[in-house]
Amino acid sequence: MNFKRRIYLASVLVLGLLPAASAQALKASHGPATKVARAPKTSSQVVARVNGVPVTQEALERETRRIFPSYSMHGGVPEQYASDIRKKALNNLIDQELAYQEAIRQNLQIPAAEWNARLREIRADYKSDAEFEAAIRKLFGTRAAFEKQLRHDMLLDRIWLLEVKYKAPVSEADVRLYYERNRAQFVQPESVVLQTISTLFPAGATPTQKQATRKRAETILPRAQAARNYEEFGILAEKFSEDPWRVMMGDRKFLHRNAATPELLIAFSMKPGETSGIIESPDGYVILRVNQHVPQKQMSFAEVQSSIRAALEKERLAKRAKSFHESLRKAAKIEVL
């Protein structure tokens, strides 16, 4: 996996932890404009202690920036969001520290082969060993400091796998049982594929303006009804239509019956290739062409099993992660300063 796209499991999927600091810093340093870019230093003031281990203002600032990507654009977090985002950032840091402490308590180790593979993965994003080592020195000071942070990140990966992912499995039987119990969720509704040509009322239209809008539709209608195919109708839509779909040849793709506005329901009684008359809508007048009619369909297990699995995995991982964090917090001494 390319290092530039690498995001560690512990930070992405469930735990809500910081991005892996060792990789994140080197990633930020590697770019065409500048090889190394250090984040501005912030205060080392302690904002919390987790079983005696300090959480610094610097770490809180970093996590706040991660949660609120527009930090730099706004010059910080808008006042109305500041309290909630700070609380979320601090809770993330506390959960991260507790997870790391649990990894140490369980005496988890990083196998040499895995360690070396991770180093090679990160190193591969640099042109030379010298460039790689220079980035490490610039960002971490020493190779030892970099490796300490990397080991920390990898232990978070490992504790997440052991305590969350492996304890929240989703089997084939689970997926199939969900499908059988919830078949109604997997009914593809009746739909039509249609194109439209619209003439729209101006804002606050008077009766005279509405009549003029109708006349524009009446001049278009014979040509629309004479269109023999998708392309011919689409060319008219591009030329005359005033709705947002004109740039796509009037093509609205699939319209489900339960999502159709009242004026569009007539499309479900039309045959493929048929063009409607002028239909009044709250915004003006519309001419429809139906290109395909798709009846309601019960989707098969094969069609939906991957989406069911993804949803079940997400739900179970979130539930297991919450339980894991809560159990760690119950046994911890947490001081928010």
d(CA 16, CA 105): 21
What does pLDDT average to over the chain? 86
Domains of the chain: 3-171+315-336 (1.10.4030.10), 190-295 (3.10.50.40)
Report the relative pairing of strands 53-56 and 191-200 from DSSP bridges. Answer: unpaired
8 A C-beta contact, residue 51 and residue 100: no
Q: What is the pLDDT of residues 93-123, one digit of tens each?
A: 999 999 999 999 999 999 999 999 999 999 9
Would you state the torsion angle of the CA atoms of residues 295, 279, 235, 212, taken in this order, to the nearest 10 degrees?
A: -170
- Compute the average pLDDT of residues 209-219: 95
| Band of residue 153 on the pLDDT scale cut at 50, 70, 90 | very high
Give the pLDDT of residue 40: 39
Q: Is the pLDDT of residue 221 over 70?
A: yes
Mean pLDDT across the stretch 141-166? 94
The percent of residues above 90 in pLDDT, for the chain, comes to 74
HSE (CB half, 13 Å, CA atoms) of 268?
17
Element (H, E) at 164: none
pLDDT at position 41 is 43
pLDDT at 31: 40
Which pLDDT does position 70 carry in this prediction?
77
Mean pLDDT of the region 170-196: 94
Predicted confidence at residue 20, as pLDDT, reads: 55
How much is the pLDDT for 77?
79
Q: Which of 74-78, 131-135, 264-268, 325-329 has the lowest mean pLDDT?
A: 74-78
| Separation between Cα atoms, residue 252 and residue 239, nearest integer Å | 16
Segment 33-54 shows an average pLDDT of 65
Cβ 35 vs Cβ 139: under 8 Å? no
Q: What percent of the chain has pLDDT over 70?
A: 87
Average pLDDT over residues 48-54: 95
Confidence of residue 62 (pLDDT cuts 50, 70, 90): confident
pLDDT at 155: 95
Of the candidates 14, 34, 16, which has an alpha carbon nearest to the alpha carbon of residue 89? 16
pLDDT of residue 251 exceeding 60: yes
Q: Please give the sequence-ordered ranges of beta strands (E in DSSP) within the chain, or none if there are none.
A: 46-50, 53-56, 187-188, 191-200, 251-256, 279-281, 284-294, 297-298, 334-336
**Band of the pLDDT at 67, cuts 50, 70, 90?**
confident
pLDDT digits (tens, 9 = 90+) for 12-31: 333 434 445 555 555 544 44
Binned at pLDDT 50, 70 and 90, residue 330 comes out as very high
Per-residue model confidence (pLDDT) at position 8: 34
Type and span of the H or E element at 15? none
Residue 311 clears pLDDT 90, i.e. is over it? yes
> Per this entry, what is the length of the chain?
337
Average pLDDT over residues 78-84: 85
pLDDT, residue 163, reads: 96
